[in-house]
Structure 1
Amino acid sequence: MPDPAMPDLPLTVRFSASEGAWDAWAPALQAALPGMRLSRDGDPARFDAIIYAPGGDITDFTPYRNVRLVQSLWAGVERIVTNPTLTQPLARMVDPGLAQGMAEYCTGWAMRAHLGMDRYAQDGVWRHGQIPPLAPARPVTVLGMGELGRATAAMLTAIGFSVTGISASGRPVPGVTVQPVTALDQVLDTTQILICLLPDTPDTRNLLDARGLSRLPKGSWIINPGRGTLIDDQALLRALDQGRPAHAVLDVFRAEPLPADHPFWAHPGITVTPHIAAETRPATAAPVAADNLRRAMAGQPVRHLVDRARGY
């Protein structure tokens, strides 16, 4: 949460994001930090900070020699963290609105899988014998226990699901059984709903390959609103044909928009959603960015600083 005790200091901030983002973000950012001089262009040497999102016009950060912080508006930073010209501190966005939206998306689809809502075709057949278990009997695994994973796990445990979290840090999460990545194979053996919320790093790409997917029980579901690179596409198609998993809800892809001729669109075991699981919302994210800018200018620790070696 933003620190209300942090003073407002005069600063000049460069805004670099996709076309149209200015109209949505500038009023919210200016309201969150009234003393800020926010602009979309100007002499790079005069800026104290940069607010950045993919699609912006800055590709070379070298001229911005006085910048104390590059604040991303996105939770994912894979499109900027490898830029060799970026030597300034980089912070990712941890937006409470984004976390809430992601938790709602994952919980909604988890409930659809849990209750078997797709079984009940309106075709005159009385399927009374297909009664789902109660939530505590449905093992759910959240793969990635960062801010989004913890928010999702909290919502699911509040309903009563038995949740296991796969975490690189091993940080405890109330009500969740936290396991290291090395235990993933064993956890997959009993997972009925797998929710994927890992970042895109060299260690996570194709983490769910043919071997990993084959460990999932028949009838299980995958929900992936994290990163499209996490799952081997061809391995997933083959696994779905074998019933392990039975269904995959995919919100992120290696190429976006997903091409119209991509086999995911036509596969009966896949539901495609168009990268709408969660969105950074100016109303809730602007105060987070403003707080970090205050911290950077005051020489205080910046929140959610990116570890370049880990990539997030």
Structure 2
Amino acid sequence: MAVLYTSDETRGAVFAERFAAVFPDLPFYQSEAPRPEDVEFLVTWTVPGNVDKLYPNLKLIFSVGAGVDQFDLAALPDRVSVVRMLEPGIAEQMREYVTLAVLGLHRDLPRYINQQAGAQWLVGRNVAAKSRRVGVMGLGQLGKAVLEALSPFGFQLKGWARRQHDIPGVETFTDLGAFLAGTDILVCLLPLTPATTAILDAKLFSTLPRGASLVHAGRGRQLDHQALVDALDEGQLASAWLDVTHPEPLPADHAFWAHPQIVLTPHIASQTRATEGADHVISGIQAFLAGTPIPGLVERERGY
């Protein structure tokens, strides 16, 4: 039995230290294992195509990030379970990032950034928070954390998911059209699945009230780039705040870089903190060995 870690080396050193303290008798390897047949736990961002043959006794794959869409779940052997990262810092950082983005769009920050570049002193809109409807797509750990963080500002909060949720102070929907029609600032925190790929498209943007804005911190492949540019240029959307794109980084000549209504950040909304991430993996292995529920275990049929 052994653990193999194949991600960032600096973070891996922290993982190794934590494992040595908690699991001193469990071999922990970085990059490669001297005996691949001993590997039962793989901590990684990507999985080789021949993972079944390479690690014949593999039991668990731990993603070093919150998402698992980088894995081809259908191609993994049935005996292997996948665990997503539930390091608490991910939710904390997402709360900060989305609050920053929502408040920035609420107070017309893209307009003022653009005006500053042109040495313009022009006063824009001033809309009361209680009149602004903020809707979050995705009501998992991150979506609920974001809604909680936004609550003190007085926004009208809404949430959408495919399954019904009951969240105090939040109007929740399973009807996407009804949710979008009453949303002024849309926040996408959805996991990437076949159903959510390219979900942020021209049809979706046209369903939002004219002049709405977008915060996208889900997955890059959920966004139709040209549809967003068209919606902004036509005035259907007022602005967008993006942390994820596909590809990453964008080509140097991509329209997003210089678009005056887009704020673009390089996928930094949430980053796994090494110590907390290691502790999450350790707790997962402990649960597996004890035969108890594993935190963050992915439902393969749902994709998250």
In the alignment, is residue 141 of structure 1 matched against residue 131 of structure 2?
A: no
In the alignment, is residue 233 of structure 1 matched against residue 260 of structure 2?
A: no
Q: CA RMSD in A?
A: 2.3
In the TM superposition, what is the alpha-carbon distance from 1:310 to its structure 2 partner? Answer: 1.6
CA distance in 1, matches of 2:160, 2:126: 29
In the alignment, is residue 64 of structure 1 matched against residue 25 of structure 2?
A: no
What is aligned with 1:8? Answer: none
In the alignment, which of 183, 197, 207 is matched to residue 215 of structure 1?
207
CA distance in 1, matches of 2:163, 2:19: 32
In the TM superposition, what is the alpha-carbon distance from 1:116 to its structure 2 partner? Answer: 2.5
How many residues were matched structurally?
Answer: 297
- Aligned ranges 1:120-199 → 2 under 5 Å: 120=112, 121=115, 125=121, 127=123, 130-133=125-128, 135-180=129-174, 183-199=175-191
- Aligned ranges 1:300-311 → 2 under 5 Å: 300-311=292-303
Tell me, yes or no, if the aligned pair for 2:11 and 2:274 is still in contact at 8 Å. Answer: no
For 1:222, what is the secondary structure of its paired residue? strand
The superposition leaves residues 61-97 of structure 1 with CA deviations (integer Å, 9 ceiling, x where unpaired) of 3342333322222111112243624431111111210
Return the letter of the residue paired with 1:97. G
Return the letter of the residue paired with 1:62. K
Q: Which has the higher helix share?
A: 2
What is aligned with 2:87? Answer: 95
In the alignment, which of 234, 254, 279 is matched to residue 287 of structure 1?
279
Tell me, yes or no, if the aligned pair for 1:32 and 1:286 is still in contact at 8 Å. Answer: no
Return the letter of the residue paired with 1:84. A
Tell me, yes or no, if the aligned pair for 1:47 and 1:67 is still in contact at 8 Å. Answer: yes
CA distance in 2, matches of 1:61, 1:22: 23
In the alignment, is residue 255 of structure 1 matched against residue 250 of structure 2?
A: no
- Aligned ranges 1:29-44 → 2 under 5 Å: 29-31=19-21, 33-40=23-30, 41-44=33-36
Tell me, yes or no, if the aligned pair for 2:136 and 2:158 is still in contact at 8 Å. Answer: yes
Structure 2 unaligned spans of 5+: none
TM-score with structure 2 setting the length: 0.89
What is aligned with 1:3? Answer: none
Tell me, yes or no, if the aligned pair for 2:137 and 2:188 is still in contact at 8 Å. Answer: yes
What is aligned with 1:268? Answer: 260
Return the letter of the residue paired with 1:172. D
Identity %: 36
Q: Structure 1: which 4+ aligned runs deviate by more than 3 Å?
A: 18-21, 28-36, 56-59, 117-127
The superposition leaves residues 253-306 of structure 1 with CA deviations (integer Å, 9 ceiling, x where unpaired) of 111111111111122221211111110111222221111100111222212211
In the alignment, is residue 15 of structure 1 matched against residue 5 of structure 2?
A: yes
In the TM superposition, what is the alpha-carbon distance from 1:192 to its structure 2 partner? Answer: 1.1
Tell me, yes or no, if the aligned pair for 2:139 and 2:161 is still in contact at 8 Å. Answer: yes
1:29–1:142 distance in 2 versus 1, CA, 3 Å: farther
Tell me, yes or no, if the aligned pair for 2:188 and 2:218 is still in contact at 8 Å. Answer: yes
In the TM superposition, what is the alpha-carbon distance from 1:208 to its structure 2 partner? Answer: 2.0
CA distance in 2, matches of 1:101, 1:142: 16
In the TM superposition, what is the alpha-carbon distance from 1:119 to its structure 2 partner? Answer: 4.8
Structure 1 unaligned spans of 5+: 1-10
1:261–1:218 distance in 2 versus 1, CA, 3 Å: same
1:103–1:32 distance in 2 versus 1, CA, 3 Å: farther
CA distance in 2, matches of 1:18, 1:117: 34
For 1:36, what is the secondary structure of its paired residue? coil
In the TM superposition, what is the alpha-carbon distance from 1:252 to its structure 2 partner? Answer: 0.8
CA distance in 2, matches of 1:207, 1:242: 20
In the TM superposition, what is the alpha-carbon distance from 1:130 to its structure 2 partner? Answer: 3.7
